[in-house]
């Protein structure tokens, strides 16, 4: 690993000023917070960033450790929603009583990711900004437009088993790897960010980007912006009928080949009032299509209807050989997640974090 300067500011102003002083022209160029060649970066849990620095995938001559900033709480909002601190750990978020009660979909998605040790370190803000798991992105001996803009995409024509089937470009076919983000997309979270230029809020659907001709930019966050919170709007109507289904190469400690966050608002007569569905592992960002969700409104659940919804969500999907299987896999996953959600939320966590979790061997 290359040498780097390290600081651990005690307050927000200090952190923002340090990043602003070193982000330089990056903001004016529209460069995002995760782009590869910044002078300075925030570090939270370090579970992704340290690997990238050690492998030489990213450079960071200066690291600003944000772990002393006061963003590690989970608070109720007056409207019945929650404000998740960007520095609250993934494990503390998943096991928080109000998250389990109001947003079981989110708790379930977080617990489907990584391992207990990683979730204890990983922060909510860092989870949103984790980089793709494309093998070529991590292999600095191969061309990769995301790592080195303009160098080419080794995945196109290469090994594509993990790669995207939707929203790709001729420059990049990578997927976003997060589980948490799939649930946050379905729950229509809002990302609160701050820089020396002020505060702003970014709707979750606008936070991650499709690759287009700038695959080096994962998000719409500017280089000098800090995520402070993730706001969850009230969603109690979905709490009783939600499901996170993750399909992967093995039962734990693997990234999704395809995952589905499904949330249904069920009427007392058994019909569906409203639905939210986000699909992971298939695109550069969690994949949603409100027009596909609208097909469910006012309808009674059926496998035939769920199949039509899945087809609408996956319209335009294209495989590249080794990932062709993802199209039927994602279709089946969407249908299955909806079937499970109709019957009620399965709470895959135990009473305490020490107990056995879904897919993990005791």
Contact residues for ligand FAD, defined by CB under 6 A: 33-34, 41-49, 66, 86, 90, 113-114, 118, 121-123, 125-127, 129-130, 177-180, 226-227, 255
User: Which range in 107-115, 143-151, 322-330, 336-344 contacts ligand SF4 by CB under 6 A?
Assistant: 143-151
SS (H, E, C) the chain: CCCCEEECCCCHHHHHHHHHHHHHHHCCCCCECCCCCCCEEEECCCCCHHHHHHCCCCCCCEEEECCCCCCCCEEECCCCCEEEECCCEHHHHHCCHHHHHHCHHHHHHHHCCCCHHHHHHCEHHHHHCCCCCCHHHHCCCCCECCCCCCCCECCCCCCCCCCCCCCCECCECCCCCCCHHHHHHHCCCEEEEEECCEEEEEEHHHHECCCCCCCCCCECCECCCEEEEEEECCCHHHHCCEEEEEECCCCCCCCCCEEEEEEEEECCCCCEEEEEEEEECCCCCCECCHHHHHCCCCCCCCHHHHHHHHHHHCCCCCCCCCCCCHHHHHHHHHHHHHHHHHHCCCCCCCCCCCCCCCCCCC
**Using rule CB under 6 A, residue 278 touches ligand SF4:** no
Of 166-185, binders to ligand SF4 (CB under 6 A) are 172-174
**Using rule CB under 6 A, residue 215 touches ligand SF4:** yes
**Using rule CB under 6 A, residue 155 touches ligand SF4:** yes
Selection from ligand SF4, ligand FAD, none that 42 binds (CB < 5 to 8 A by kind) is: ligand FAD
Selection from ligand FAD, ligand SF4, none that 227 binds (CB < 5 to 8 A by kind) is: ligand FAD
- What is the smallest separation between the CB atom of 63 and ligand FAD, expressed in angstroms? 8
Selection from ligand SF4, ligand FAD, none that 146 binds (CB < 5 to 8 A by kind) is: ligand SF4
User: Which range in 32-40, 134-142, 237-245, 327-335 contacts ligand SF4 by CB under 6 A?
Assistant: 134-142
Selection from ligand SF4, ligand FAD, none that 132 binds (CB < 5 to 8 A by kind) is: ligand SF4
Q: Which is nearer to ligand SF4, 129 or 264 (CB)?
A: 129
Q: Which is nearer to ligand FAD, 26 or 90 (CB)?
A: 90
List the one residue out of 109, 159, 111 whose CA is nearest residue 276.
Answer: 109
Selection from ligand SF4, ligand FAD, none that 45 binds (CB < 5 to 8 A by kind) is: ligand FAD
**Using rule CB under 6 A, residue 137 touches ligand SF4:** yes
Q: Which is nearer to ligand FAD, 22 or 127 (CB)?
A: 127
- How many residues line the site for ligand SF4 (CB under 6 A)? 14
**Using rule CB under 6 A, residue 134 touches ligand SF4:** yes
Residues binding ligand SF4 (CB under 6 A): 132, 134, 136-137, 144-146, 153-155, 172-174, 215
């Amino acid at each position: 690993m290359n040498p780097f300067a390290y600081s651990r500011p005690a307050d927000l102003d200090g952190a923002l000023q340090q990043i602003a002083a070193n982000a330089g022209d990056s903001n004016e160029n529209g460069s995002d917070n995760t782009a590869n060649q910044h002078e300075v970066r925030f570090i939270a849990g370090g579970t992704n960033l340290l690997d990238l620095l050690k492998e030489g995938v990213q450079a960071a001559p200066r690291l600003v450790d944000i772990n002393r900033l006061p963003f590690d709480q989970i608070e109720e909002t007056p409207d019945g929603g929650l404000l998740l601190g960007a520095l609250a750990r993934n494990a503390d978020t998943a096991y928080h009583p109000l998250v389990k009660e109001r947003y079981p979909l989110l708790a379930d998605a977080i617990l489907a990711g990584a391992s207990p040790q990683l979730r204890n370190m990983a922060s909510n803000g860092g989870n949103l900004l984790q980089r793709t798991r494309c093998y070529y992105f991590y292999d600095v001996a191969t061309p990769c437009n995301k790592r080195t803009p303009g160098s080419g995409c080794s995945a196109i024509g290469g090994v594509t088993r993990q790669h995207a089937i939707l929203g790709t470009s001729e420059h990049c076919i990578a997927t976003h790897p997060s589980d948490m983000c799939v649930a946050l997309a379905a729950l229509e979270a809002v990302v609160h960010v701050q820089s020396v230029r002020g505060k702003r809020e970014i709707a979750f659907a606008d936070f991650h980007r499709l690759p287009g001709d700038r695959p080096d930019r994962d998000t719409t966050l500017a280089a000098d912006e800090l995520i402070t919170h993730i706001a969850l709007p009230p969603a109690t109507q979905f709490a009783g009928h939600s499901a996170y289904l993750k399909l992967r190469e093995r039962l734990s400690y693997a990234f999704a080949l395809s995952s589905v966050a499904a949330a249904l608002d069920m009427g007392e007569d058994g019909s569906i009032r409203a639905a939210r569905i986000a699909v992971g592992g298939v695109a550069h960002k969690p994949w949603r299509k409100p027009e596909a969700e609208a097909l469910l409104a006012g309808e009674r659940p059926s496998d035939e209807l769920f199949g039509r919804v899945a087809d609408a969500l996956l319209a335009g999907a294209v495989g590249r050989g080794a990932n062709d299987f993802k199209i039927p896999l994602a279709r089946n996953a969407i249908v299955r997640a909806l079937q499970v959600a109709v019957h009620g939320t399965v709470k895959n966590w135990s009473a305490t974090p020490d107990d056995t979790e879904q897919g993990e061997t005791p």
